[in-house]
Chain A
Amino acid sequence: MAAVSQKVDLKFSNSDWKSEVKPTWCPGCGDYGVLSATKKALVKLQRDPKDTVVASGIGCSSNFPHFLGGYGIHTLHGRIGPYLTSIKLTNPKLTVIGAGGDGDGLGIGIGGLIHAARRNLDVTYVIMDNQIYGLTTGQTSPTSRIGHKTKSTPEGNIENPLNPIAVALSAGATFVARAFSGDGKHFAQIMEAAIAHKGFSFVDALSPCVTFNKFNTYDYFRERVYNLDETDHDKTDILMAYQRAYDWDHNDKVPVGIYYQVSKPTYEDREPAYKTEESIIERGAIRPRNYDDLIGHLY
Chain B
Amino acid sequence: MSEEYVNEISFRISGRNGDGIFSAGDVFSKICSRSGLNVHGYRSYQSVIRGGHVNYSVRAANWEVRAPADHIDILISIREDGFLVDAPMMSKNGIILYDSKGFRIKQDKIVVPEGVKVVDMPAAEIAAKYSDLKIIANTVLIGAVVALFDLDFGVYEKMIRDQFSHKGDETINVNISAAKEGYEWAKSHMEPIKHNVKLDLTKKPKMFIGGNEALALGLVNGGLQFFGWYPMTPASPVGQYLAAHGVKAGVVVKQMEDEINVANSVVGAGFAGARAATATSGGGFALMTEAIGFAGMAEIPTVFIEVARGGPSTGLPTKTEQGDLRQALGASQGDYPRAIIAQTSVEDGVYLGTEALNIAEKYQMPVIVLSDLYLGEHFETIPEPEWDRIPIERGKLILEDLTEDQLPYKRFLLTEDGISPRTIPGVANGQYDAGSDEHDEYGKLISDVRAGYPDSIVIRKQQMNKRMKKMEVLLKELPAPVVEGHSADDSDVLIVGWGSTYDTIAEARSHMEKEGIKTSQLHIKYIEPFHSDEIGKILREFEEKGKTIVMVEVNYTAQMAKHIRGETGFNIEKKVLKYDGEALLASEIVAGVKEHLG
Contacts and interface: CB of A to CB of B under 8 A. Distances in A.
Given A24-B448, A280-B250, A65 B225 contact: no
A2 interface: no
B30 interface: yes
B368 to A, nearest CB: 18
Contact of A298 (B208, B247, B253, B425): B208
A63 interface: yes
Interface stretch (A84-92, A155-163, A174-182, A241-249): A84-92
Interface residues of A, number: 60
Nearest to B432: A71
A256 B224 CA distance: 44
A76 B264 contact: yes
Contacts of B33: 299
Of B249, B261, B276, B387, the most chain A CB neighbours within 10 A belong to B261
Contact of B425 (A71, A111, A272): A71
Contact of B294 (A75, A94, A293, A294): A75
Given A73-B268, A90-B225, A298-B208, A281 B433 contact: no
A115 B256 contact: yes
Interface string A277-299: 10011011111111101110011
Interface string B436-472: 1100000011001100000000000000000000000
A200 to B, nearest CB: 15
A74 B209 contact: no
Contacts of B401: 50
Contacts of B245: 293-294
Contact of A89 (B226, B267, B399, B435): B226
Interface in B273-317: 273-276, 290-291, 294, 298
A79 interface: yes
B256 A85 contact: yes
A66 interface: yes
A101 B356 CA distance: 36
Contacts of A3: none
Nearest to A94: B425
A280 B433 CA distance: 22
B102 interface: no
A273 B251 contact: yes
A81 interface: yes
Nearest to A53: B425
B294 A69 contact: no
Given A65-B433, A72-B433, A281-B273, A82 B268 contact: yes
Nearest to B207: A298
Nearest to A280: B225
B262 interface: yes
Contacts of B392: 285-287
A283 B250 contact: yes
A251 interface: no
A172 interface: no
B429 interface: yes
B250 A273 contact: yes
B254 A89 contact: yes
Given A53-B425, A66-B433, A86-B226, A293 B249 contact: yes
B74 to A, nearest CB: 24
Interface string B212-254: 0100010011111110100000000000000001111111111
A231 B40 CA distance: 72
Nearest to A119: B254
Contacts of A63: 445, 448
A50 B425 contact: yes
A217 B436 CA distance: 31
A296 to B, nearest CB: 9
A82 B262 contact: yes
Contacts of A82: 228, 256, 260-262, 264-265, 268
B269 interface: yes
A287 B401 CA distance: 25
B331 to A, nearest CB: 14
A271 to B, nearest CB: 6
A237 interface: no
Given A50-B425, A273-B250, A280-B225, A79 B272 contact: no
B272 A91 contact: yes
B207 A295 contact: yes
A55 interface: yes
Given A291-B387, A294-B245, A299-B33, A83 B268 contact: yes
Nearest to B253: A273
Contacts of A84: 268
Contact of B273 (A91, A286, A293): A91
A70 interface: yes
A107 interface: no
Contacts, number: 205
Contact of B394 (A79, A273, A285): A285
B261 A53 contact: no
B428 interface: yes
B384 to A, nearest CB: 10
B295 to A, nearest CB: 11
A276 interface: yes
A276 B434 CA distance: 31
Contacts of A20: 444
B257 A111 contact: yes
Contacts of A94: 272, 425-426
B248 A285 contact: no
B56 interface: no
Nearest to B274: A90
B265 A281 contact: no
Contact of B252 (A53, A71, A89, A93): A89
Contacts of A299: 30, 33-34, 205-208
B261 A281 contact: no
A108 to B, nearest CB: 10
Contacts of A285: 222-225, 274-275, 357, 392, 394
B254 A288 contact: no
Nearest to A108: B260
A229 to B, nearest CB: 34
Contacts of A272: 247
A73 B264 CA distance: 11
Contacts of B430: 50
A89 B267 CA distance: 13
A65 B432 CA distance: 9
B125 interface: no
A66 B444 contact: yes
Nearest to A111: B257
B332 to A, nearest CB: 11
A288 B33 CA distance: 25
B445 A66 contact: yes
B89 interface: no
Contact of A73 (B207, B271, B445): B271
Contact of A85 (B251, B265, B357): B265
Of B206, B254, B258, B437, the most chain A CB neighbours within 10 A belong to B254
A50 B250 contact: no
Contact of A280 (B252, B254, B267): B252
Nearest to A272: B247
Contacts of A91: 272-274, 425-426
A117 B34 CA distance: 49
Closest 5 A/B residue pairs (Cβ) = A285-B223, A72-B433, A86-B268, A86-B265, A82-B261
Given A82-B260, A293-B249, 11 more contacts: A20-B444, A49-B431, A71-B433, A74-B434, A82-B265, A86-B276, A87-B269, A89-B226, A90-B252, A281-B274, A299-B206
25 contacts: A49-B431, A63-B445, A71-B431, A73-B268, A74-B433, A75-B264, A79-B291, A81-B261, A83-B268, A87-B268, A90-B225, A90-B268, A93-B426, A271-B252, A272-B247, A280-B250, A281-B272, A281-B426, A285-B225, A285-B392, A285-B394, A290-B248, A294-B220, A294-B245, A299-B207
